Amino acid sequence: MILSTGEEVDLLIRDCAILTLDHAHFITQGAIAVKDKKIIYVGRKDSLPRVKAERAIDAHGKVAMPGMVNCHTHVAMTLFRGLAEDKPLDAWLRKDIWPLEAKLTWEDVYWGALLGCVEMLKTGTTCFADMYFYEDAVARAVEDSGLRAVLAQGIIELKTPALGKETFKQSIDFVQNFHGAAEGRIRTWFGPHAVYSCSLELLREVRRAASEKNVGIHIHLAESSEQAEKLYKKYGVSETCLLEKIGVLGSDVLAAHCIFLSKKDMQLLRKHNVKVGYNPVANAKLGTAVSPIKELMDLGVHVGIGTDGPASNNSLDMFWNMRFAALAQKLRYKDATVMNTRKVVEMATLGGARTLGLENMIGSIEVGKRADIILVDFNKPHLKPFHDVHANLVYSTCGSDVDIVIIDGRILIEKGEVKVLDEAKVMSEAEKRAFRLISK
Q: Which helix (H) or strand (E) holds 286?
A: none
Closest to its own copies by CB, 8 or 86? 86
Question: Per rule CB under 8 A, is residue 330 in the interface with its own copies?
Answer: yes
**Cβ 86 to its own copies, closest distance in Å?**
4
Q: Is 439 in the site for its own copies (CB under 8 A)?
A: no
CA angle 344, 326, 129 (to 5 degrees): 60
- Give, as ranges, the residues between 102 and 141 that touch its own copies (CB under 8 A): 115, 118-119, 122-123
Interface with its own copies, residue 386, by CB under 8 A: yes
Q: How far is the CB of 368 from its own copies (least distance, A)?
A: 32
**Close Cβ partners of 104 (under 8 Å, ≥ 6 residues apart):** 76, 79, 133, 134, 437
What one-letter code names the amino acid at 60?
H
Question: Of the candidates 2, 336, 415, 439, which one interacts with its own copies according to CB under 8 A?
Answer: 336
Interface pick for its own copies out of 17, 155, 281, 362 (rule CB under 8 A):
281
DSSP string, 90-115: HHIIIIIIHHHHTT--HHHHHHHHHH
Site for its own copies in 399-438 (CB under 8 A): 399-401, 423, 426-427, 430-431, 434-435, 438
Residue 204 in the binding site for its own copies (CB under 8 A) = no
Interacting residues with its own copies between 46 and 105 (CB under 8 A): 78-83, 85-89, 92
Query: Using CA atoms, how far apart are residues 417 and 405, in angstroms rounded to an integer?
Result: 10
* 363 Cβ contact partners less than 8 Å away, ≥ 6 residues apart: 21, 66, 69, 349, 350, 351, 352, 353, 354, 369
The count of chain residues that interact with its own copies, using the rule CB under 8 A, is 72
Residue among 23 and 334 whose Cβ is closer to its own copies: 334
Return the H-helix or E-strand segment holding 69. strand 68-73
Contact between 258 and its own copies by CB under 8 A: the answer reads no
Is residue 335 near its own copies by the rule CB under 8 A?
yes
- For its own copies, the closer CB: 220 or 275: 220
Q: Is 227 in the site for its own copies (CB under 8 A)?
A: no
Peptide bond into 385 cis (omega under 30): yes
